[in-house]
Amino acid sequence: MSAGTEIALYLIRNVGALILLVVVMRGVLHTSRVNFYNPISQLVVRLTNPLLQPLRGVLPPTGRIDWAVIVIAVLLQSLILASIAWVAGDRWALPGLPTLLAWGAVGVLGLLVNLYFFILIAMIIVSWVAPGSRHPAIELIWQISEPVMAPFRSILPNMGGIDFSPILLFIGINVVQIGLRHLAMTLGLPTGLVFGL
């Protein structure tokens, strides 16, 4: 592999993953109903509006689901995978469009699960280090994690001020990750191409 090919693959993977992460984060912010006056939320909205605005008329959000984010994220992940195959010289190894879109959907789900994994880790660390902080990033972590944590908290009885719900959520995340890995193998998605799978 030439240096130019390696650089191109590096840029496609990393710049593509960064753009995809911001788009998926926009969907998470919408689903979690976070404070959109938070400066970090505003940054994510400003960065993603150029991609999402053209689809807003056709795919408006309904309830907690932002359809434009889902479509853009799956298309972007599919484009990243196709670009990697094209640059690597595996043009003929690309599947048909339905399989490529299925790969994109699995990749977006994998990224979403990993995003929640790291948000949960950050929430645990923040609860130890800065439990009452009003920093915009910490507020965002709490606002994103709380809708996911609440159902698990309602399952567990009161444990005297100790919250064991993150353990249940970690177990749930690991179960979903195993399922996604097996789904990716079933679809023939090459390992290592998608973040978290």
pLDDT digits (tens, 9 = 90+) for 161-188: 677 778 888 999 999 999 999 998 888 8
Percent of the chain with pLDDT strictly greater than 70: 92
Could you tell me which residue, 156 or 182, shows the higher pLDDT?
182
- Paired strand residues for 62: 65
- Mean pLDDT (the chain) is 87
Q: Evaluate whether residue 196 is within a structural domain.
A: no
Q: Evaluate whether residue 38 is within a structural domain.
A: yes
Boundaries of domain holding 183: 3-187
pLDDT in tens, 73-114: 999 999 998 888 888 776 556 778 898 899 899 999 999 999
Q: Evaluate whether residue 163 is within a structural domain.
A: yes
User: Whole-prediction pTM value?
Assistant: 0.87
- Among 102-111, 137-146, 155-164, the minimum mean pLDDT is found in 155-164
DSSP string across 16-67:
HHHHHHHHHHHHHHHHHT--TTSHHHHHHHHHHHHHHHHHHTTS--BTTB-H
Q: Evaluate whether residue 192 is within a structural domain.
A: no
Give how far the C-alpha of residue 13 lies from the chain's centroid of Cα atoms, to the nearest Å. 15
pLDDT in tens, 41-58: 999 999 999 999 999 889
- Give the mean pLDDT of 116-140: 87
Q: Evaluate whether residue 194 is within a structural domain.
A: no
As a whole number of angstroms, the distance between CA 111 and CA 191 comes to 14
How many other C-beta atoms are found inside a 10 Å radius of the C-beta of residue 37?
8
How many domains does the chain contain in total? 1
Q: Evaluate whether residue 197 is within a structural domain.
A: no
